[in-house]
Amino acid sequence: MKKNIIKIISLVACTVPVTVMGQSNESITFSPQYKEGKYLYSEGNYAAAMIPLKDCLRLYPASTFTPEVEYMIACSAYELKDKNSTAILRNYLERNPDSPYAYRVYALIASNYFFEEKYDEALALYNSSNLEKLADTERADMLYRMAIAYMKTGNSKEAAIWFATLKETSSKYEADCTYYISYIRYTQQRYDEALEGFLSLRNNLKYKELAPYYTAEIYLLQKQYASAQEIALNYLSSYPTSRYSEEMQRILGETYYQTGDYHRAIQAFEKYTGSVSAPRRDALYMLGLSYFHTNVYSKAASTLGEVTTADDALTQNAYLHMGFAYLQLADKNKARMAFEQAARSNADLKTKEQAAYNYALTIHETSFSGFGESVTAFENFLNQFPQSAYAEKVSEYLIDVYMSTRSYEAALKSIERISAPGERIMEAKQRILFQLGTQALPILSTMRLRLTSTGLFKLDSITRKQKRRLCIGKAKLITARNVTRVHRTISVVSLT
């Protein structure tokens, strides 16, 4: 009897926990808190769902349904943009590492990083989550964010792949994908593909104010100025207060500039530069040249001065035309400095040549010394650009300086510094040697000469002073043909 009682007690003891647990699971599934919370969650009413779900978790903390309740609470925190939602989602994964919802929780954490602009962290989690298991709409959302994240991190190639994939599988983001693919093609200079995409968005409500900007830009790059101008004018008429209207004024100004309508170009560029804090350098350059072509030289010089913030061809050209503008304003010193800056740049050799020529001319016209900076400038030009179209003119200027100053010794040294003197310079050299020869004749008359076996006269003696006056540093021969025009035929070989 005693043994039977013990068996009954043991049996009851073993069955009690099972009965209690079974009642607990049954209770939670039929509890009003669970039913209400799950219904509100499924309806997307996350704020209202939070109250019964938390009550359910408090009443039934150890049920087999607890992970589901925790999951709904964590996801509701995400949907409500709770600032602690990332931590709540991670805590859920720590407590439930084998959760069947883990793939979605990772995707939600990735989205939180995306919204916080932590794109590298977002991509790492998107790629580790199995997005294929998500519902179609949510999967499209995640793929879109992942493609944007690739763009934000500079991986436009990968972004284009995901945008193209999303475009084929979801109509929700078709226009967005078209825009971003077109933008990527634009940055890749695949303008025809980009243009096709942007044109397809011209009537799209979301992109009808943005797509025309890129369309007009592409037409500019393709030199289709009439098409770009038409788009810009229509856009400014339809959206005068749009945030893209300033850029359309710039585009409009460039179409006028490129077609030679400088007055209208000035009007458009002035509206553009007056409405933006940091105008584009190329727009300032075209505005400056528009002023120059309309004879507003003071504004041309000042506007072009704003372009010279980088060491490139635009700056070099700006300095060149600043020089021309200052010449028109009769300010040769400022012109000289502008030409000098342009001539120092190697960005474009044709511009450098033109600037060096004008620099040499302004030096020549403003120099106070008869034989100084201008000669050096002309020498440098001929050495740098021996085949220049300006070489003959520069040679004429040099010859004029040589002969007008009568500094024949300095002129001869100057010619020696020119690596490839032209025909005119060599003719001048003969004239200079002749002048040096005629200067030497009075000296020769005071010296004793004797006829050598070669038939030449040799100087018996010569002083250092006479040596200098005869320009003796190297052997020079004053030929009979040169000297007979002044005196009798004589050939002199100087002593070294």
Listing DSSP states for 167-213 in one string gives HHH-STTHHHHHHHHHHHHHHTT-HHHHHHHHHTTTT-TTTTTTHHH
Please state the rounded mean pLDDT for residues 113-132. Answer: 95
Sequential DSSP letters for 209-277: TTHHHHHHHHHHHTT-HHHHHHHHHHHHHH-TTSTTHHHHHHHHHHHHHHTT-HHHHHHHHHHHHHH-S
Decide if pLDDT at 19 tops 50.
no
| Share of residues in the chain with pLDDT > 90 (%) | 63
User: At 374, which helix (H) or strand (E)?
Assistant: helix 373-384
Q: Which residues pair with 458 in a beta bridge?
A: 450, 493
**301: Cα within 13 Å, side-chain hemisphere:** 17
Query: What's the order of all strands across the beta sheet hosting 457-459?
Result: 449-451, 457-459, 492-493, 477-478
- Residue 113 Cα to chain centre, angstroms: 30
Tokens of 242: 């749009």
Cα separation, 49 vs 33, in Å, equals: 9
Decide if pLDDT at 173 tops 90.
yes
Please state the rounded mean pLDDT for residues 359-380. Answer: 77
- Supply the pLDDT for residue 6: 40
Place of tokens 């100084």: 372
Question: Is residue 435 within 8 Å of residue 408, measured between CB atoms?
Answer: yes
Please state the rounded mean pLDDT for residues 83-99. Answer: 95
Tokens of 492: 């002199």
Cα separation, 277 vs 14, in Å, equals: 81
End-to-end CA distance of the chain: 149
Please state the rounded mean pLDDT for residues 245-255. Answer: 97
Q: What is the pLDDT of residues 384-401, one digit of tens each?
A: 898 888 877 777 777 666
DSSP state of 330: T
Question: Is residue 232 within 8 Å of residue 251, measured between CB atoms?
Answer: yes
- Supply the pLDDT for residue 392: 78
- The model's pTM is 0.73
Q: What is the pLDDT of residues 152-170, one digit of tens each?
A: 999 999 999 999 999 999 9
Question: Which amino acid, one-letter code, is at 113?
Answer: Y
- Supply the pLDDT for residue 396: 74
